[in-house]
């Protein structure tokens, strides 16, 4: 039999089946790629939603914590006992005011409350009994003193010079006959809040310079989102705000930027290898500009939802007249309760969120 090219060609049915299987393979591969892309987009969208929700919850809790303290300096600056001590600091007046400030720290959860005269010297303080009492200490070098004296009020996040514990300092000018006669200062610390955050997704709050101040991961404190210029670092060190912090950039890849609201990044948690996270942020007002939360696939907003629970940080039950702490009214500050009306439930350092080390010494 003579072999020709015609004899070597596959039969028509073989050609048809070959074409069918090639097309089927291409179709299957295309469907797999498309479905994989759809699943990946959906997973990323779910992760972004989790990160945004977590950032919003963390921000709400932090706002609640700040709101507990921001009314204190303003109310104390109007208090007759404060004005009287600044006008004539007699031993009897000083002791009475020291005791009042001491009681207020226990009633409000503030770390320390103290009164500076017009020159920045501490004349009364809630920690007056402690070895590290602020009484007699000059804080005129602090920006919260200078800015409050000039502008009426100020806020500054810094390390305590004695305790070395970080916190937010809120100050209010005391006026007498049109002139400044002193400054009231309240320091709030966030150890309990950070402990609550640590069981949730990694989260932190940074200031306008991108310096991490409040964080669920202590090793990240005073890291920065972007490199700080040398002159800015020198200024912060001169103000003694953050001790000798080296201001290292947080090792994320790619780097988080100050104004980014949402992005994918990789970072290693302490003792671990790099992980991929979705970072989302929520704006704040004041010295803390943004709260950021980092979420990966297994994260949930469990603890944040439980802590808020429809009543963020228990604010509705922790307020007295005009939204002030009951401790303020009980100490004779703010509006008086009508006769016969029972006092509001007392807020204490040990309530709801565990002990806050109210009696521990702290630094200005």
pLDDT at position 124 is 97
Instruction: Name residues whose C-beta falls within 8 Å of residue 127's C-beta, 6 or more positions apart in sequence.
Output: 102, 105, 112, 114, 133, 134, 361, 362
75 and 185 housed in the same domain: yes
62 lies in the same domain as 197 = yes
d(CA 148, CA 152): 5
Dump the DSSP string for 142-173: SHHHHHHHHHSEEEEEEE-TTT--EEEEEEEE
Looking at the structure, tell me whether residues 291 and 246 fall in a common domain. yes
**Residue 10 located in a structural domain:** no
**b/e burial code for range 155-188 (CB count within 10 A of at least 16 → b):** bbbbbbbbbebbbbbbbbbbeeeeebbbbbbbbb
Q: What angle in degrees, to the nearest 10, is found between the helix axes of 91-108 and 12-77?
A: 160
* Sign of torsion over alpha carbons 175, 287, 126, 163: negative
Query: Does 325 lie in the same domain as 260?
Result: no
User: Is 299 within the bounds of a domain?
Assistant: yes
Residues 6 or more apart in contact with residue 142 via CB below 8 angstroms: 120, 156, 158, 169, 239, 364
Which pLDDT belongs to residue 129? 95
The pLDDT of residue 118:
96
Angstrom distance (rounded) from CA 289 to CA 16: 67
Is 316 strand, coil or helix? helix
Cβ-contact 98, 124 below 8 angstroms: yes
> 75 with 186: CB under 8 angstroms?
no
- The answer to whether residue 284 is domain-embedded is yes
Specify the pLDDT at position 281. 86
> What local confidence, expressed as pLDDT, does residue 317 receive?
36
Q: Which domain holds residue 59?
A: 47-67+191-308
Same domain, 93 and 149: yes
Contact 169, 186 (CB under 8 A): yes
What does the angle CA 217 – CA 163 – CA 121 come to, to the nearest 5 degrees?
135
DSSP 78-97: T-HHHHHHHH---HHHHHHH
CA–CA separation, 28 vs 310, rounded Å? 49
- Answer whether residue 351 is part of any domain: no
Do 100 and 173 reside in the same domain of the chain?
yes
| Cβ atoms of 51 and 279 closer than 8 Å | yes
349 part of a folded domain: no
- Decide if 336 is inside a domain: no
Residue 8 lies in a domain: no
Tokens standing for residue 99: 């005791």
Q: Which two tokens stand for residue 176?
A: 């007498």
Q: What is this structure's pTM?
A: 0.70
Angle between helices 91-108 and 80-87 (to 10 degrees): 140
> If you count them, how many residues does the chain have?
364
Tell me: do 79 and 149 sit in the same domain.
yes
- Quick one: 53 and 83 in the same domain? no
Contact (CB, 8 A) for 171 and 153 = yes
Does residue 184 sit in the same domain as residue 196? no
| CB neighbours of residue 224 within 10 Å | 23
Note the pLDDT of residue 177: 81
Task: Please give the chain's pLDDT, 364 residues, in tens.
Answer: 454 545 555 566 766 666 666 776 676 776 666 655 555 567 566 777 888 888 888 888 898 888 889 899 999 999 999 999 999 999 999 999 999 999 999 999 999 999 999 999 999 999 999 999 999 999 999 999 999 999 999 999 998 887 788 999 999 999 988 889 999 999 999 988 888 886 557 899 998 888 999 999 999 999 999 899 999 999 999 888 898 899 999 999 888 876 666 778 888 888 888 888 888 888 887 667 888 888 875 444 333 344 444 433 333 334 443 344 444 444 444 444 444 444 433 333 333 344 334 344 456 7
Residues 227 and 147 in one domain: no
Domains of the chain: total? 2
Residue-level pLDDT at 199: 54
- Domain-embedded: residue 11: no
Residue 276: which CATH number? 3.30.450.20
Based on the domain organization, do 217 and 298 belong to the same domain? yes
Q: Quick one: 105 and 198 in the same domain?
A: no
Q: Nearest-CA neighbor of 255 among 296, 223, 302?
A: 223
């Amino acid at each position: 039999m003579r072999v020709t090219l015609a004899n070597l060609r596959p039969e028509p049915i073989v050609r048809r089946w070959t074409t069918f299987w090639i097309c089927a393979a291409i179709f299957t591969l295309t469907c797999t790629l498309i479905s994989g892309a759809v699943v990946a987009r959906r997973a990323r969208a779910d992760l972004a939603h989790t990160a945004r929700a977590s950032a919003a919850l963390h921000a709400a809790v932090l706002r609640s914590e700040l709101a507990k303290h921001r009314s204190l300096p303003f109310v104390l600056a109007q208090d007759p006992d404060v004005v009287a001590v600044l006008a004539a600091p007699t031993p009897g007046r000083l002791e009475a005011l020291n005791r009042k400030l001491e009681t207020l720290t226990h009633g409000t959860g503030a770390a320390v409350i103290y009164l500076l005269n017009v020159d920045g010297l501490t004349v009364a303080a809630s920690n007056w009994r402690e070895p590290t009492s602020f009484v007699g200490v000059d804080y005129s070098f602090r920006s919260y003193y200078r800015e409050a004296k000039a502008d009426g009020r100020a806020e500054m996040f810094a390390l305590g010079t004695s305790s070395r514990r970080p916190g937010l300092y809120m100050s209010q000018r005391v006026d007498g006959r049109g002139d400044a006669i002193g400054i009231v200062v309240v320091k709030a610390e966030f150890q309990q809040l950070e402990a609550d955050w640590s069981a949730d997704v990694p989260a932190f709050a940074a200031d306008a310079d991108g310096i991490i101040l409040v964080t669920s991961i202590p090793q990240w404190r005073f890291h920065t989102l972007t490199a700080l210029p040398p002159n800015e670092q020198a200024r912060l060190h001169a103000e003694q705000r953050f001790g000798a912090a080296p201001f290292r950039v947080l090792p994320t890849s790619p780097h988080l930027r100050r104004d980014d609201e949402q992005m994918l990044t990789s970072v290693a948690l302490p003792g671990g290898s790099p992980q991929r996270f979705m970072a989302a942020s929520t704006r704040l007002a004041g010295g803390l500009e943004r709260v950021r939360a980092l979420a990966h696939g297994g994260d949930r907003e469990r603890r944040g939802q439980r802590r808020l629970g429809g009543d963020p940080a228990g604010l509705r039950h922790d307020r007295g007249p005009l939204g002030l702490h009951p401790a303020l009214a009980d100490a004779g500050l703010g509006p008086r309760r009508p006769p016969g009306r029972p006092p509001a439930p007392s807020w204490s350092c040990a309530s709801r969120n565990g002990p806050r080390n109210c009696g521990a010494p702290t630094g200005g």
